[in-house]
Chain A
Amino acid sequence: MSQESNQIGKLDWISVGLYALFVLLGWMSIYSAVYNPEAPLWIFDEAFYTSNAGRQLIWIGTSLVLIMLIFALDFRFFESFAVFIYAAFMLALIAVPFLGVTINGSHSWFKLGGVTIQPAEFAKTATALLLAKYLNDPQVNLTKWMNQWRSALIIALPMLLIIGSNETGSALVFASFIILLYREGLPGEYPGLLIALIVLFVSSLLLSPLTIFISLLVLASLFVIILPIYQRRLPQTYVRMAGAIAIVMSLSTLVDWVVNHVLKEHQRNRIKVLLDPSFDTRGLGYQVTQSKIAIGSGGFWGKGYLGGTQTKFDFVPEQSTDFIFCTIGEEFGFVGVMSVIVLFLFFLWRLLYLADQQRSRFARAYGFGVVGILFFHFLVNIGMTIGLMPIMGIPLPFFSYGGSSLWSFTILLFIFLKLDAHRSDMLSR
């Protein structure tokens, strides 16, 4: 019993406080987004609970129940059952195309009574758990090719299943596990390569092949001139440079080919919108344009709570879910968005710090998994509202409207906070 009460005392109240703050701010923004100045609804109106704000209140309430449930469980449960949890969600992902229902064009939802659940949201947590469990084995060394391969398999399985149900955006979230793997010893070349590939991808879309080729030549010449090491064996250097340039050029050609032949029409358009903000502002670029208008019109101090005109009157589609950040931008201005970004970064920093405090590798790895997932959502969601990222169905953690989203992030976070509360009980290996 004494152990039970202790665990509350060891709970990281800073993280819990930030979580509560984000959920509250999110709910306020959702309330504002659905707020009708002609007929404001109050919490006691029955109709209130048919609005997004009312329903989100229900999701918040049930999230509290989930938190209590997590804390009622033994902390060892998550490590012990990681394989089962993972397996269960993989089965769910397989089953969803057959048993699921379609919502907003995405056939990835289960309907349980009046509640719809998207298993893809929870698969992230399951994957993080299994990955952490796998890395908990002291034999596993991520510099070894075999272990790298197995880790990749754990991540790739849910990704492929989710791509299968047409949720490419959600699948990309799994790329964030590279942070977990990097922390757990994956050689730095891997994330470096990933970043290099992204840079290559973007530049081959933005620049003409000739420009890329000339830039590469200039870059190579600079290397040779500045770094004397290359000048010692010039012939070999030339061969290597030529090879590298050839690879980069062919990759960039490949990117063009992929964009034009592999990607689907709507995905291609999202990329076009991203690269050219003035592209079809009434149609395909409508969402980004309206989102930027909403945020841009906020100015420094914003229009005041409930004072936004863009976000309130449905100019920005998906206002409560994926574009909730617009409401904050319009109503609280630059001060508001900067506060949210700073607080979120601080939150991530706190979780990173806690993760590194863990004695067990399981808890630590899981912690980095949590941070990676949260960061990826932060990056893509805010990025797309200001036109820096292509539009994907990625919610802002804790802020966005939606049961599946709020529940899954709550579970994701509080499993880690539960593990953290028990860190002194864990065996250090």
Chain B
Amino acid sequence: MPEGRRIIIFLFFLSIGIIFIGKMFYLQMFDSTYEKAADNNAIRKIIQVPFRGEVYDRFGKLIVYNTPVYDLYITPRKAVVNDTNRFCALFGITKGRFDTLTKEAWAYSRVKPSLFLKHLSKEDFAKIQDVLVDYPGFSISTTAFRTYQSKALSNALGYVAEINTNSLSDQKDDYYRQGDYVGISGLEAFYEEALRGQRGVKYRMVNSNGVEKGEYRHGDLDVSSVAGQNLFTSVDIRLQEYADSLMMHKVGSVVAIEPSTGEILSMVSAPSYDPSLLAGRNFSKYYQILALDPLKPLINRPPSAYYRPGSTFKIVQALVGLQLGILTTGSVFTHAGAPVKCHVHNTSHNDLHNAIQWSCNPYFYHAFRKILYDNTQGDTFERPAQGLQRWSELVANFGFGRKLGVDLGNEKKGNLPNVEYYNKVYKGENTWKFSNIYSLSIGEGELVVSPLKMANFAAIIANKGWYIPPHLVKGVGDKKTIDTFYKTPVPVGIDAKHFNVVHEGMRDAVLHGTVGREGKIPDIVMCGKTGTSQNQKGKDHSVFIAFAPKDNPKIAIAVFVENAGFGGFAAAPIASLIIEKYLKGRVDRKDIETKFMNMSYLANVTYNRKIVKKDSLKR
């Protein structure tokens, strides 16, 4: 019997052993929750966020940089402060505050660092840097705020803010985490990937108290951070500031382009805001205020605001007519028979030059009709449709009705009506005729453009038939790389010879035409064309496009001033001042400068109304 009991006893042992092995097998082989839990337990990911790239102007002047701010952290168990009074004096806090902060830190954790003082300035940091070694348990962590050298250019630059929940869940490459900063608009958003650099990751093993215990897998998984790349913009920040000051108390846009390169020299959106308001700790407070402002200072108007081009568009009609051979420089039209009125001007020999100089509405009514009918008489429905098709294809080459591809995220297409468009509006083919669409001839009707498009158009005229897609950045990073897109000229399909009459007409418009006395620069040969953009709910917008000098142009410009009336009144003088400033480096016409800096058209501006009134255009 006793021998058998040994077997019984051992069988009991064995069964326990088998149960244990079974449980181990389950824990170690099947249940992966424990494996994951272990990694979360012991491996800490430390993120190193590199500084964002800086932004420079076309002459290498720093526009945007980062200001490091320093947060002081305390690790209570290690913290030793022998001389509390000296410590408090150093950091500029009271004894009571010191006690409260220390107590809060103790309550959070004895061994994990917790925030002690937030956002110390560089000066404070310099002061404490050397003595910090005397206070074990205190450490500094660095973050950075965007800092701006200039208050101008804020709309084009855009701003940086904490990523929102939607973008966080929509992101493709899963790069951003909660609380990360990301470019929200403007260049900050467009060049986000270059500017942000690459976040670094360090894996460190930590013990149960969260204290670091060395590299995980000898740092094999670590990724070092890559600093953000600098942006070298084409903007002349001095010109930008000057243009900005001229646009004070106004709603509108200025876009100046170097015609030979497509580089944007200045891009003003008025009204604007101080960019430093949206950088730093008071972001949400100021964002709220700016977002609710009825004048919408946060919008970057130049690439996105919708206007009718007004009379500036007559140049397009002239060029298309010449290219098609339907117009010649000698084509003459009288005021008779046109449903559009004109101002008083010499019509004794109303040729193309004269019509551009005086912005003659009837001339372009007749010319447009001739373009659409192609010198023939025919069906009142079919002929204009055929003509419009050909016309719209040619006009589209100028960039109307499509995106130019500027390096900003919010560029709008605008609207260039074609046959398809009118068929939709009038619900069917052959339902509309010339009398329905003739306002296109003088740049009104369903045409919609942005200030950027008009500046580009000015550059096309200056270049006599081609443009390089306008862009704000001419180089990214130390190698100043740039997409070949921004290097490649785009022809618009109009022979260069056709531009001569346009140049002459625009020159005379400035000298003794629609541009008034205030738009003339005595010592610069500027060519310009005024425009008056109709809008149904308020006073006309003042529009002006120009380039200078006439030979070998250095600057092309478009100025839009909302509700300021006729183009020659507000937009032309402002454009002339900017051109003078750019070409001469100074402005001699001080009286005009002062007048327009102080001039306000805000009283005419109608709030909370869509700039474009056609319902069909509302998106």
Contact = CB atoms under 8 A, between A and B. Distances in A.
Interface of A: 36-38, 179, 182-185, 290, 292-300, 309-310, 312-315, 329-330, 333-334, 337-338, 341-342, 344-345, 348-349, 352-353, 355-356, 368, 371, 375, 378-379, 382-383, 386, 388
A299 B29 contact: yes
A187 B450 CA distance: 103
Contact of B10 (A309, A338, A352): A352
Q: How large is the interface on B (under 10, 10 to 19, 20 to 34, 35 or more residues)?
A: 35 or more
Nearest to A281: B37
B213 A312 contact: yes
A37 B214 contact: yes
A375 B20 contact: no
B42 A338 contact: no
A342 B24 CA distance: 13
B489 to A, nearest CB: 61
Residue among B14, B17, B39, B215 having the largest count of chain A Cβ atoms under 10 Å: B17
Given A37-B214, A298-B28, A182 B5 contact: yes
Contacts of B16: 375, 378-379
B25 interface: yes
A119 B41 CA distance: 38
B207 interface: yes
Given A183-B5, A309-B205, A295 B213 contact: no
22 contacts: A36-B214, A182-B5, A183-B9, A292-B34, A293-B37, A294-B38, A297-B35, A310-B38, A310-B42, A312-B205, A313-B208, A314-B208, A315-B207, A315-B208, A329-B28, A334-B24, A334-B29, A338-B21, A341-B20, A345-B14, A378-B16, A388-B19
A296 B28 CA distance: 4
Nearest to A383: B20
B31 interface: yes
A375 B15 CA distance: 12
Given A315-B41, A334-B25, A296 B205 contact: no
B38 A309 contact: yes
A349 B17 CA distance: 12
Contacts of B27: 292, 295-296, 329, 386
Residue among B3, B31, B207 having the largest count of chain A Cβ atoms under 10 Å: B207
A309 B20 contact: no
Interface in B1-49: 2-3, 5-6, 9-10, 13-14, 16-17, 19-21, 23-25, 27-29, 31, 33-35, 37-39, 41-43
Nearest to A37: B214
B376 interface: no
B209 interface: yes
Residue among B10, B25, B28, B37 having the largest count of chain A Cβ atoms under 10 Å: B28
B269 to A, nearest CB: 54
Given A295-B34, A388-B23, 14 more contacts: A183-B6, A296-B28, A299-B29, A309-B42, A309-B205, A310-B38, A334-B25, A338-B24, A341-B17, A349-B13, A356-B3, A371-B9, A375-B13, A388-B19
A175 to B, nearest CB: 14
Contact of A386 (B14, B23, B39): B23
A300 B29 CA distance: 6
Residue among A296, A337, A355, A356 having the largest count of chain B Cβ atoms under 10 Å: A296
A293 B41 contact: yes
Contacts of A379: 16
Nearest to A333: B28
A341 B31 CA distance: 21
A251 B42 CA distance: 46
Residue among A313, A348, A353 having the largest count of chain B Cβ atoms under 10 Å: A313
B592 interface: no
B34 A386 contact: no
Contacts of A341: 17, 20-21, 24
Given A38-B214, A296-B31, A299-B35, A352 B9 contact: yes
B213 A36 contact: yes
A355 B9 CA distance: 13
A361 B475 CA distance: 96
10 shortest interchain CB distances as A-B pairs? A296-B34, A297-B38, A313-B207, A309-B42, A37-B214, A296-B27, A334-B28, A38-B214, A314-B208, A315-B208
A386 B24 contact: yes
B51 to A, nearest CB: 29
B209 A382 contact: no
Contacts of A38: 213-214
Nearest to B9: A179
Contacts of A299: 28-29, 35
A315 B24 contact: no
B206 interface: yes
A348 B13 contact: yes
Nearest to B32: A296
A218 B38 CA distance: 45
Residue among B5, B206, B208 having the largest count of chain A Cβ atoms under 10 Å: B5
Contacts of B207: 312-315
Contacts of A375: 13, 16
Nearest to A388: B23
Contacts of A294: 38
B559 to A, nearest CB: 66
A190 to B, nearest CB: 12
B206 A356 contact: no
Contacts of A37: 205, 213-215
B41 A182 contact: no
Contacts of B28: 295-296, 298-300, 329, 333-334, 337
B306 to A, nearest CB: 59
Contacts of A388: 19-20, 23
A293 B31 CA distance: 10
A375 B14 CA distance: 11
A38 B21 CA distance: 34
Contacts of B38: 293-294, 296-297, 309-310, 330
A298 to B, nearest CB: 5
